[in-house]
Amino acid sequence: MSLNWKEIDLILEELDLEGSFIQQIVQPSYDTIALHTYKSGTSKTVLVCLAGGACRIHQTWTAVPKNTKPLRFMEFLKARIKGARINAIRQLGQERIIKLELSHCGQEFLLYIRLWSNAANIILTDTNGCILDSFYRRPGKGEVSGGLFTEPTFPSNSQESDSFYRRPGKGAVTSGISTEPEETPAPPQSPDKEQKQWTIRDFQELPDSQELSFNQKVDRWYREHGGQLSLESLLEQAQKFYTSRHSKMEAALHRLEKKRDGFLQNQQWKHYGDLILSYGHLIDGSQDYLECQDYHSGATIRIKIDPKKNAQENAATYYNTYKKSVSGLEDLEYDIQKARRELLDLDATYQQLCKEPNPIRLQQLLRKQTRPKQQEEKKRPGLSYEIDGWTIFVGRTAAENDELLRHHVKGLDYWFHTRDVAGGYVFVKNRPGKTLPLKIMLCAGNLAVHHSKARKAGEADLYYTQVKHLRRAKNGPKGLVLPSQEKNLFIQLDKDILKELESSLTS
């Protein structure tokens, strides 16, 4: 429920902003802005919310956090009216439109705050009504830079109710650009009816409500119960977000673990290859299976084969499947561990959301978590490590190697790779004025061997050079480079170094 005009009058009376200076302007979200004011040794934070069903202005005692990135209208107001003096502030009739007269550096400005649930806006104009900018730009209503804002006009009888200004076609104010009322206005309502329609809420449901000012009551009530921006509503959104995300992540983890169970049978493929070679003389090209005795269990088994291939070719097929399973299992184990870490991070995020007492901050956290995928910042491919202030990138595939090389490293960064053995690229980001220390070289070297086909051997020769000395191979496969001015390095895998690197993994 938004504030009515009587409540706005009482709030403005308590705020007493005439003569105050606007020290800072903060826009924490896309429907809220806060003015930090100062007057006679007293500072106040005036919150203006334009959310539907919760339009309001009042002093707040809750910290107003900054947005993760500067927003357009906030930056505009800071450039124009930060440090301005509020010469006058009043509500225009009973229209829930607040007018602030401001002066700053010899210039005069008018700031209009319209608290209508379906058409709320904040508009800054010059003294002639020319719109400089608005919180919400609405070209269809002329509420854009360069448009003209005309204040609504009011009948002489100040007791007329708000309904007079809401009659379409009868001089109704439908936006900041108003029309003139007809010569014969609607008759005023009786004071009793008006009092029944527009009253000042007492918020008796709040504890110690009798001891609070009206601004304090409004601030506390909207923080706890005020529609979509209340703690109650935001926590409900947080629960829905957590339940939905958690179920999807658990299902994904279950699929990975099920896939791993299949990969754990990889020894069976190798055993089948051995059996085919042992009983290859039984393959006559007429059947698509080989029936033989398993020399491990003694049982008679059938092994599917290609009758058009000989024993060596059929065995090679099973050996290749075995090798792929072993290689895939390593990546799968990493994906499973990553999925488990993400589940733990989700639980921690949800606990943080539940403990957040500030609804504005909670709204920010929820917006960050529920951001659409297309708006999410594109993540760097491969793995990233942070150790002793140094950043290390690892590409695990040709595509990741190529992407890192093209878009995420520069000429002075270092490149590590195993010599004459296929593997991932390892990059160490350069630090200006710093020489690459031996420890970081050993870390990068261990990662290069660990993410290569030399991993089983536990050691390998590798070379390293700066990225500026890499040249792409003409017509070569993706990610293939030819190094120059490289230096040699021999690495034996060190479990302690790999364990320390695992703890420094960032993504």
H or E element, residue 33: strand 32-39
**Residue by residue, what is the 3-state secondary structure of 470-505?**
EEECCCCCCCCEEECCCEEEEEECCHHHHHHHHHCE
Separation of CA 262 from chain center: 36
For residue 373, the one-letter residue type is K
* CA angle (121 as vertex; 117, 122 as ends), nearest 5: 145
Q: Going residue by residue through the chain (507 aa), what tens digit of pLDDT does each one get?
A: 688 999 999 999 999 999 999 999 999 888 899 999 999 999 999 999 898 878 899 999 888 888 878 889 999 999 999 999 999 999 998 889 999 999 999 999 999 999 998 899 999 999 999 999 999 999 999 999 999 998 887 654 444 444 333 333 333 333 444 434 444 344 444 444 344 477 888 887 777 777 889 998 888 888 776 555 566 677 777 888 888 888 988 988 888 888 777 666 777 888 888 999 998 888 888 888 998 988 888 899 999 999 889 999 999 998 888 877 766 666 677 778 888 888 988 888 888 888 877 777 777 677 776 655 444 445 678 888 988 888 999 998 888 888 898 889 999 999 999 998 889 999 999 988 888 999 999 999 999 999 999 998 899 999 999 999 998 887 778 778 899 999 999 999 998 898 888 878 876
Which two tokens mark 167? 């009659």
Cβ proximity of 39 and 17 under 8 Å: yes
For the sheet with 107-114, list strands across it: 56-59, 42-49, 32-39, 21-29, 85-91, 97-104, 107-114, 121-125, 131-134
pTM value surpassing 0.85: no
Count of H-run helices and E-run strands, the chain: 11, 19
Q: What are phi and psi of 370, to 5 degrees?
A: -100, 15
Between CA 287 and CA 304 the distance in angstroms is: 9
Between CA 187 and CA 227 the distance in angstroms is: 34
